[in-house]
A and B are shown apart, each in its own frame.
Chain A
Amino acid sequence: MHPILKLVAQRLALSTLLLLAASVLIFAGTTILPGDVAQNILGQSATPESLANLRKELGLDQSATARYFNWLGGVLQGDLGTALTNGRDIADSLGGRLKNTLFLAFSAAVVAVPLAIFLGLLAVRYRERWPDKLISAVTLASISVPEFLIGYVLMFYIGVQLGWAPTVSTIYDSMSLGEKLSAIVLPVTVLTMVVLAHMMRMTRAAILNVMQSAYIETAELKGLTGFQVIARHAFPNAIAPVVNVVMLNLAYLVVGVVVVEVVFVYPGMGQYLVDHVAKRDVPVVQACGLIFAAVYIGLNMVADIVSILANPRLRHPK
């Protein structure tokens, strides 16, 4: 077998294992929470019989292990269970939310990743000069300010004072793509500012590290311009560390948008999760946790695989 296929297969197997472990943790975590779901649903006035009936109906009289495997079996068939609070199928309500979150994350990534890499290249090209320092200062400042604050500041100046973008980003299925995009301008801006610094600085550091290599001197002595040397010769060798940081930030865009979604009233998964945590709706929390874990593990696996593919020694063995 080609060594690359073997490595990729290994990564896939490992990720699956990791996801399984995460599901155990999520299930255990929500199970050991104090309190009784049946009591919560029925309230103070519940009779012992009705409590017992409900427990049986929810399967709470079974052992934790049996409940875990029931749940896992359902998940594997696409059945995430029903929400306790409104009795609706979780997979149905979550599907639309997840789509919205991915849409927001994807839009932010399309802006942030190329911008971060370009700024990183630019910072290397003008290292230790004013463009480098300016880029570092601005991106560091934007990562240091809490995202809800940036959100409200942008909302006030750009949304309210200047009126350039809507302050509420609620989107509906009936909206066209253009309408949706214009609705999410502000949250995308905030998310971009939050993830930019990390990726930009990693790009800069990784490329500067490569710039010490002898083949960079060879490229300079071929008469290439500074930017050509960086983009053609340094960047291809800096892909592995950059991809790792990019993937971590993409995962953050999916998992960490809770605050931004709440600030801009965006109907994504984060808001859905916050609502149901407040209501102690355990199956929804479990389902969201599992999806977040899958996104994290999946993106990191992609980063691993890209790093492997970026290495010519592995791609083209002797």
Chain B
Amino acid sequence: MSDTLLKVKDLKIGAKIYPPGEKPKDIEIVHGVSFELEKGKVLGLIGESGAGKSTIGLASMAYGRGGVEITGGEVWVNGREILHTNLRDLRRLRGMEVTYVSQSAAASFNPAKKIMEQVVEASLHAGKFSKKAAEARARELFAKLGLPDPDNIGERYPHQVSGGQLQRCMTALALCPEPDLVVFDEPTTALDVTTQIDVLMAIKEAIRDTGVAALYITHDLAVVAQVSDEIMVLKMGDMVEYGTTDQIINHPQEEYTRDLVSVRSTQHDGKPPTDNPVLRVENVTARYKGTNFDVLHNVVMDLHPGQTLAVVGESGSGKSTTARVITGLLPPRDGNIVFDGRELSPDLEGRTREDLRELQMIYQMADVAMNPRQTVGTIIGRPLEFYFGMRGAEKRKRIIELLDEIELGVEFMDRYPAELSGGQKQRVCIARALAAKPKVIICDEVTSALDPLVADGILKLLENLQKIEDVAYLFITHDLATVKAIADSIAVMYQGKVVRYGTKAEVLSPPFDDYTDLLLSSVPEMRLGWLEEVIENRKMESAGN
């Protein structure tokens, strides 16, 4: 078989872990995975965090991140076994035959060097091209990847281009030495949806035009369906299912794959608005201290009791700033926050303890929102003491009730945050917010850092709790699928303004304004050919204008 580029056979990968209070121990994180990749084909590796996707991707360059070590099996690239080769041959392989595109281009580019210098470095190091030829090729790739001003963009420093552009530069970096295989490790995960679609198309076209083979690693099945020929589903270091993209998407065999395909099945029928909103944001304009431009312009929205208002938008649209104004962390320049019929003090100092109790927050990063030295019981018990003066048996009883509500048992009371999974941590944060018996909880991207299945569980939990506790959510997110699953009304934000606002049915039905249309059509759908369809539609639209 001369067409086989990459052959992985019974690959086993181990790592050293350092459990708190115990001796370091060796564990196996990939248990014997095998696959083959032909020249010019794309294999998608998909799974949740901890599935071993990135680890397997890096193993195709015989590289282990941190304490990770390849403990068994074989990896063949271009007919050579690479796990037992010497370091010199390995350096020729890395950066020449196999290259890597990481999740965060912003962190993966050296901030002290020009983009061009970094893009051509591997080619020059291996002596593959002359400096002139390599730079010409880089400029060609910049143009192919749709970067603005391809002739000069290489002269900029990484911080001088946007996140989406930098991710494309990273792709150019990987393609520049004409490799046989590129490992794409979540290349679009850190991008906004509207940016993701352009980068995805650029990557797809670059793969097609250069004939390079690729391993495409992601947790998003809808994304991988757009670019892969074959897909391998991984779970906890084991292969679950391996087949063509069509098979996996349209005819999944295993239950786990079916769960992944059908995730976000949550149905939520929007409730109609009431006459007495619990929270009114009235014409708020705000700016940060020491700056001379407004980040929020006349923001208006209402949240009704026991309902969910979703605030959607891309990074920088002012979603979180709105939350900061509501909580009093950033006093507005103009406008009011009205809570339950009374006007709240613009700054935190002026608010009463009762004001604070009725308005709670849950954050995106659950692990940094908890004191790592306190047990779950202490964390949840704190608001009970602070707001209600509960002590002893009474407090303990309420903590157990709350643990029960978030579907964790009493045995979690004495655990520390480090002993919880990501989803469990977020549940504890929810319980802490609920402990104050608030009327409103602001949820700031609470599911963004979680795997799809776990995030789905959190959304279901939040919905149940809303029914039990009759609490209203102000739900900040960039993810439209989440919005559909949970919202009663929606505010779409763009550049500090609310561009569309109304009940879920109103906001999500045509006719759309331009921005909402762009946002909605950019959400990847889990079917083959979606990407081409969208791009084609946009081309036709812009041609029509």
Let me know if B157 and A312 touch, CB within 8 A.
Answer: yes
Contact mask for chain A residues 205-228; partner B; CB cutoff 8 A; 1 contact, 0 none = 000000001110111111111001
Let me know if B125 and A313 touch, CB within 8 A.
Answer: no
Taken together as a complex, chains A and B put the C-alpha atoms of A313 and B161 apart, in Å, by 12
Taken together as a complex, chains A and B put the C-alpha atoms of A137 and B99 apart, in Å, by 40
Taken together as a complex, chains A and B put the C-alpha atoms of A223 and B160 apart, in Å, by 26
Q: How far is the CB of A297 from chain B (nearest CB, A)?
A: 28
Interface presence of B435 (CB below 8 A): no
Contact mask for chain B residues 95-123; partner A; CB cutoff 8 A; 1 contact, 0 none = 11001101010011111110000100110
Let me know if B104 and A214 touch, CB within 8 A.
Answer: yes
Contact mask for chain B residues 53-91; partner A; CB cutoff 8 A; 1 contact, 0 none = 000000001010100000000000000000000000011
Let me know if B126 and A223 touch, CB within 8 A.
Answer: yes
For B63, what are the chain A residues with a Cβ–Cβ distance below 8 Å?
A: 220-221
For B93, what are the chain A residues with a Cβ–Cβ distance below 8 Å?
A: 223
Let me know if B110 and A221 touch, CB within 8 A.
Answer: no
For B91, what are the chain A residues with a Cβ–Cβ distance below 8 Å?
A: 223-225
Interface presence of A318 (CB below 8 A): yes
Kindly report which residue of chain A lies nearest to residue B99, judged by CB atoms: A221
Interface presence of A67 (CB below 8 A): no
Kindly report which residue of chain A lies nearest to residue B173, judged by CB atoms: A218
Taken together as a complex, chains A and B put the C-alpha atoms of A51 and B540 apart, in Å, by 102
Interface presence of B324 (CB below 8 A): no
Taken together as a complex, chains A and B put the C-alpha atoms of A225 and B112 apart, in Å, by 19
Q: Which of A217, A236, A313 contacts B102 (CB 8 A)?
A: A217
Q: How far is the CB of A183 from chain B (nearest CB, A)?
A: 41
Interface presence of A237 (CB below 8 A): yes
Let me know if B125 and A218 touch, CB within 8 A.
Answer: no
Taken together as a complex, chains A and B put the C-alpha atoms of A310 and B109 apart, in Å, by 16
Taken together as a complex, chains A and B put the C-alpha atoms of A219 and B102 apart, in Å, by 12
For A220, what are the chain B residues with a Cβ–Cβ distance below 8 Å?
A: 63, 94
Taken together as a complex, chains A and B put the C-alpha atoms of A224 and B123 apart, in Å, by 11
For B92, what are the chain A residues with a Cβ–Cβ distance below 8 Å?
A: 223
Taken together as a complex, chains A and B put the C-alpha atoms of A313 and B160 apart, in Å, by 8
Let me know if A223 and B108 touch, CB within 8 A.
Answer: no
For B125, what are the chain A residues with a Cβ–Cβ distance below 8 Å?
A: 222-224, 228
Q: Which of A221, A237, A310 contacts B95 (CB 8 A)?
A: A221
For A316, what are the chain B residues with a Cβ–Cβ distance below 8 Å?
A: 156-157, 159-160
Taken together as a complex, chains A and B put the C-alpha atoms of A237 and B110 apart, in Å, by 8
For A318, what are the chain B residues with a Cβ–Cβ distance below 8 Å?
A: 159-160
Interface presence of A233 (CB below 8 A): yes
List residues 188-218 of chain A with CB under 8 A from any CB of chain B: 213-215, 217-218
Taken together as a complex, chains A and B put the C-alpha atoms of A223 and B122 apart, in Å, by 7
Let me know if B107 and A213 touch, CB within 8 A.
Answer: yes
Q: How far is the CB of A231 from chain B (nearest CB, A)?
A: 12
Kindly report which residue of chain A lies nearest to residue B94, judged by CB atoms: A223
Q: Which of A218, A237, A312 contacts B159 (CB 8 A)?
A: A312
Q: Which of B94, B108, B160 contacts A214 (CB 8 A)?
A: B108
Kindly report which residue of chain B lies nearest to residue A216, judged by CB atoms: B110
Of A213, A215, A220, A316, the most chain B CB neighbours within 10 A belong to A215
Query: Tally of A-B residue pairs with Cβ under 8 A?
Result: 74
**Chain A contact residues, majority secondary structure:** helix
Let me know if A223 and B95 touch, CB within 8 A.
Answer: yes
Let me know if A218 and B94 touch, CB within 8 A.
Answer: no
Kindly report which residue of chain B lies nearest to residue A215, judged by CB atoms: B110
Let me know if A215 and B107 touch, CB within 8 A.
Answer: yes
For B109, what are the chain A residues with a Cβ–Cβ distance below 8 Å?
A: 215, 218
For B61, what are the chain A residues with a Cβ–Cβ distance below 8 Å?
A: 221
List residues 224-283 of chain A with CB under 8 A from any CB of chain B: 224-225, 228, 233, 236-237
Of A222, A236, A313, the most chain B CB neighbours within 10 A belong to A222
Let me know if B110 and A236 touch, CB within 8 A.
Answer: yes
For A213, what are the chain B residues with a Cβ–Cβ distance below 8 Å?
A: 107
Known: A221-B100, A222-B94, A223-B92. A214 touches B113 (CB 8 A): no
Let me know if B65 and A219 touch, CB within 8 A.
Answer: no
For A219, what are the chain B residues with a Cβ–Cβ distance below 8 Å?
A: 110, 121
Taken together as a complex, chains A and B put the C-alpha atoms of A310 and B93 apart, in Å, by 33
List residues 415-436 of chain B with CB under 8 A from any CB of chain A: none
Contact mask for chain B residues 141-172; partner A; CB cutoff 8 A; 1 contact, 0 none = 00000000000000011011000000000000
Q: How far is the CB of B539 from chain A (nearest CB, A)?
A: 30
For A217, what are the chain B residues with a Cβ–Cβ distance below 8 Å?
A: 65, 102, 108
Let me know if A214 and B112 touch, CB within 8 A.
Answer: no
Q: How far is the CB of A310 from chain B (nearest CB, A)?
A: 8
For A223, what are the chain B residues with a Cβ–Cβ distance below 8 Å?
A: 90-96, 122, 125-126
Taken together as a complex, chains A and B put the C-alpha atoms of A213 and B102 apart, in Å, by 12
Taken together as a complex, chains A and B put the C-alpha atoms of A221 and B126 apart, in Å, by 13
Taken together as a complex, chains A and B put the C-alpha atoms of A218 and B92 apart, in Å, by 15
Taken together as a complex, chains A and B put the C-alpha atoms of A236 and B125 apart, in Å, by 19
Taken together as a complex, chains A and B put the C-alpha atoms of A213 and B92 apart, in Å, by 23
Let me know if B100 and A218 touch, CB within 8 A.
Answer: yes
Kindly report which residue of chain A lies nearest to residue B61, judged by CB atoms: A221
Let me know if B110 and A233 touch, CB within 8 A.
Answer: yes
Taken together as a complex, chains A and B put the C-alpha atoms of A233 and B158 apart, in Å, by 14
Kindly report which residue of chain B lies nearest to residue A310, judged by CB atoms: B112
Taken together as a complex, chains A and B put the C-alpha atoms of A224 and B117 apart, in Å, by 14
For A221, what are the chain B residues with a Cβ–Cβ distance below 8 Å?
A: 61, 63, 94-95, 99-100
Taken together as a complex, chains A and B put the C-alpha atoms of A57 and B42 apart, in Å, by 94
For B159, what are the chain A residues with a Cβ–Cβ distance below 8 Å?
A: 312-313, 316, 318
Kindly report which residue of chain A lies nearest to residue B88, judged by CB atoms: A225
Q: How far is the CB of B82 from chain A (nearest CB, A)?
A: 12
For B156, what are the chain A residues with a Cβ–Cβ distance below 8 Å?
A: 316
For B126, what are the chain A residues with a Cβ–Cβ distance below 8 Å?
A: 223
Let me know if A215 and B108 touch, CB within 8 A.
Answer: yes
Q: How far is the CB of A236 from chain B (nearest CB, A)?
A: 4
Other 19 A-B pairs with CB < 8 A, given A218-B102, A224-B95, A312-B159:
A215-B107, A215-B109, A215-B110, A218-B173, A221-B61, A221-B95, A222-B121, A223-B96, A224-B91, A224-B121, A224-B125, A228-B125, A233-B110, A236-B110, A237-B110, A237-B111, A313-B111, A313-B159, A316-B159
What residues make up the interface of B, taking CB atoms closer than 8 Å to A? 61, 63, 65, 90-96, 99-100, 102, 104, 107-113, 118, 121-122, 125-126, 156-157, 159-160, 173
- Please name 27 pairs of A and B residues whose Cβ atoms are closer than 8 Å in the assembled complex, sorted by A: A215-B108, A215-B110, A215-B111, A217-B65, A217-B102, A218-B108, A218-B109, A221-B61, A222-B99, A223-B90, A223-B92, A223-B94, A224-B91, A224-B95, A224-B121, A225-B91, A228-B125, A236-B110, A236-B112, A237-B111, A237-B112, A312-B111, A312-B159, A313-B157, A316-B156, A316-B157, A316-B160
What residues make up the interface of A, taking CB atoms closer than 8 Å to B? 213-215, 217-225, 228, 233, 236-237, 310, 312-313, 316, 318
